[in-house]
Structures are given as structure tokens and as C-alpha cells.
Structure 1
Amino acid sequence: MSVHTSDSEFWLFGYGSLIWKPPPHFDRRIPGYVTGYVRRFWQSSQDHRGTPEAPGRVVTLIERSFWETLDDHHTSESDKVWGTAYRIQADKVAEVREYLDIREINGYTIHYTPFFPSDGSDHISTLVYIGTPDNDQFMGPQDPQKLAEHIYRSVGPSGPNMDYLLSLEVALGGLSSESGDEHIKDLANRVRMIERADSDKSHTTDQAIDHKLKRIGSTDEQEETEK
């Protein structure tokens, strides 16, 4: 029997920074995947990895059936989008649900999707925030090199856009032997090449990025709810 999101048990799926920056008040964290979607850096970020004047880019999920109608430079052979499901403590569900509903802005809306744990156990119904193609922050297909250059130079209140990309690459690699994402890997490789060629760089990937799971104690401490 599968587990469902309800008023007493609330599961959240993270496919971007939530993989390494979990929500507050979770008591279970499960790696796994959803199907029927493609993950892309096609969402504009004016609030975390960019500014209104110079938006960065963060990931969103695209329904695979819609994505197949688009002219994308990156292929996606796998039907699995890997990430992490979090179960929120029962006595904190109302607080976290209200917090997420308020904080999740900049084009993202609430959806529900089956999540399949990596250990093969029964699927879970999870809430997920998605920037759908009809929101005004959705950018659509972009040339990979231009996108990598945009990510490289973008900075927002939560830090450099490239840190988000490189942290996501590392976080995905730690979930499973099959959890890598070619779209993410290609962009990360392009950003590293841009940085090596940039003799006037002011930010370097030689600076260690802390990829450890960052548990926080309250909604007030949450830096970002990026997906």
C-alpha cells in the first residue's frame, strides 16, 4: 500500500537545491525518482540565484510529453528524474505547508506526483513545486553554451548561480549509481571550462563548496525553497 500526502503525513519531493538544503522539520529523507518529467535549467531566478535586473537560472520539471514537442539541444534518454523525498514531522505539517505556500514564489506552483524510493519500496505521493511553461519565469529551450555562460555570471541573494549548478551535480551523484543527469553534467562541465578560460575570474571552483546535508531547525532559518 502506498503512502499519501495528507493533513497528518506530508511528503515533499526535492529535485534541485532541496536535495542538499532540506526543508525544516523533516523526520525521514528518502532518495528516489519520479517519472514522466525532464529536469531543465529553464526557470528564471530573480529571488535566489539572480536579481530582478539580472535573473539567474534554476531547475524546473517539464512534463515529458510536452518536452518532446520542443527543440532541445540536450537529449533525455532516462524517464527517471532523481531527487529526494522528505516526510515532515506530523506536528509541524501545518507550519511547513503554510511556509512553503508563502515562500514558493517566482513562478512555481504546487503539484502532486508519485515518488519511487530507490530501495524499491512502495511509491509515495509527494508534493512538488514546478515552474510550468505558462508561468512568466519559464525560459524554454536555450543554447547550452549560452545558458552555461549565463549561469557562470549570475549572482543572487543565495549566492553565485554556478554554485547552485555545481552543488546539484554533486548532490545528484550521491543519490544512486544511476542518478546522474546529463543536462546537469554538461552544463557543469561547460561552466568549469568557462571559468578556466576566464583569466579575470573573481569566483573560483577551487573554493570548496559545502555539499553536506544542511539540517535547519525552523522555517525562519530556511535560506531558499528552490525546488
Structure 2
Amino acid sequence: MTVPAPPPLDADGALYVFAYGSLIWRPGFAYTGMHPALLRGFHRRFCIWSRRYRGTPEAPGLVLGLDRGGSCRGVAFRVPEADAAAVLDYLQEREMPPSEEAVYERRVLRVTLLDSGREVRAVAFVADRTRASYCRPEAPAAAATIARGRGQMGCNREYLLNTVAHLRAMGVRDAGLDRIAALLPPPG
């Protein structure tokens, strides 16, 4: 029998989860703190084909991933140690379900909590560039794909617009997402 690895806790004894897309506005788990955070070395990008959540095999949508280079402002959720294993199990199922092709690599990365300046270790889901679902569409192609995408979790357009709205509420402007949103054709 394999013993599961202990959760990757920070020095303060808590699990931190870095959110950069839908986890910001729909985390799906309880947390005791929500901190604006900065991750260096990765940026937020529509770089993963979605054939289930925001599209279908016949008409894929796009979802966000952390792609290498640059930096990304998001949220670091603080989870107490007692809940860490259950939260990691939930995130594993949500982000990397066993019936799907893996599209993310779960990593532990250093993020800066912008409200305190403190650096913590946080779990983040990074786009796996070796997978067939990895892509790098230009903004016009991404907007066209997102405009028609609809999957198990709803309309791809809503995913983009919810993310943009929540980032703006945090005072974050993401030029790449703003450009794609501006290129969306009117709904209809």
C-alpha cells in the first residue's frame, strides 16, 4: 500500500492554492484567507483546448492555463492544515479528472501575497506543453473559439467574461484577456 505524500504546506502550516481563472470566482472549497497574489515566471493564457467543460469534442472551447514566462496576478487561498488533503483531492478531481487527458501539471510554486509582501509556497496548475490539448491561438482565433464554445460547465464566453470581471474587481487588468473579450462577436 502506498502512503500518500503529505500536503505541501507553507512554513505557517497552511496550504495555499494559487487561483488565476475560474478558481478565483468559483473555488469550490472552504478557505480561511483570500490574498491578492503575484506569481512570477508564468502568465495566464487561453492555451488549453476544452472538450468537456467549455466545449465538446466536435467544437472545443478554450480554458486558461498558466504558461511559462512573465507574471500573473491572482489570488492565493489559505486553507487550514486539517482541510488540506481534502482540498487537494477536490482540486485533483476538478483540474485533472482521471477520465480525461491530463492538461495540467500540479506544481508547488513561490507566490507573493500582495497584502503583506510575504512569500509563500502555493499549489498551482500549470499548462502541460507536451499534451495534445495545449495550444497557443492568436487573439482573433481564441475569440472565435470562445464565442462558440459550450460545454458541461456552460458557455465559454461566460468563463472569459466572469474571469475578466473578477480580475477587474481586484484591480487587475489582463491585456491578453481584455483583447480577446473585445474581439468577441455580439452574443446571439
Matches of 1:93 and 1:11, distance apart in 2:
9
Residue-pair matches, total? 175
State whether structure 2 residue 94 is matched by structure 1 residue 103. yes
Q: Report the aligned-residue RMSD.
A: 1.9
Q: In the alignment, which residue of structure 2 is the partner of 1:150? A: 145
AA at the equivalent of 2:52: D
Q: How does 1:173-184 map to 2 (within 5 A)?
A: 173-176=168-171, 179-184=172-177
- Counterpart code for 1:144: A
Larger strand fraction of residues: 2
Displaced runs of 4 or more, over 4 A: none
Provide structure 2 residue ranges, at least 5 long, that are not aligned to the other structure.
1-6, 97-101
- Alignment match, 1:222: none
Is the 1:61–1:132 contact (alpha carbons within 8 Å) kept by the matching residues of 2? no
Shift of 1:190: 0.8
Q: 1:14 touches 1:128 (CA, 8 Å); kept in 2?
A: yes
1:126 is matched with 122
Q: Which residue of 2 aligns with 1:88?
A: 79
Whether the 8 Å CA contact 1:14–1:84 is kept in 2: the answer is yes
What is the deviation of 1:90?
2.5
Report if aligned partners of 2:54, 2:60 keep a CA contact under 8 Å in 1.
yes
Kept in 1: contact 2:48–2:65 (CA 8 A):
yes
> Paired residue for 2:53?
48
Deviation at 1:93, TM superposition (A): 1.3
Map of 1:69 onto structure 2: none
Q: Following the alignment from structure 1 to structure 2, what is the Cα–Cα distance between the partners of residues 130 and 53?
A: 25
Specify every segment of 5 or more residues in structure 1 that has no aligned partner in the other structure, as ranges: 65-78, 202-227
1:19 corresponds to 2:21 = no
Q: TM-score, normalised by structure 2?
A: 0.86
**1:99-142 CA distance string (max 9 Å, x none):** 222332241120111111222421111000112211221012x2
Where in structure 2 are the equivalents of 1:210-221 lying within 5 Å? none
Q: Is the 8 A contact 2:109 2:121 kept in 1?
A: yes
Q: Which amino acid aligns with 2:9?
A: S
For 1:188 and 1:157, locate their aligned partners in 2 and report how far apart those are by CA, in whole Å. 21
Q: Kindly, what percent of the aligned residue pairs are identical?
A: 27
| CA 62–48 in structure 1, closer or farther in 2 if over 3 Å, else same | same
User: 1:49 aligns to what SS in structure 2?
Assistant: coil
Equivalent in the alignment of 1:186: 179
Classify the secondary structure of the residue corresponding to 1:101: helix
Q: Is the 8 A contact 2:149 2:156 kept in 1?
A: yes
Deviation at 1:189, TM superposition (A): 0.8
Structure 1 CA distance, aligned partners of 2:163 and 2:22?
7
Deviation at 1:11, TM superposition (A): 0.8
Give the C-alpha shift of residue 38 in structure 1: 2.1
- Whether the 8 Å CA contact 1:113–1:127 is kept in 2: the answer is yes
- Structure with bigger RCO (C-alpha 8 Å, 6+ apart): 1
Equivalent residues of 2:48, 2:64 under 8 A apart? yes
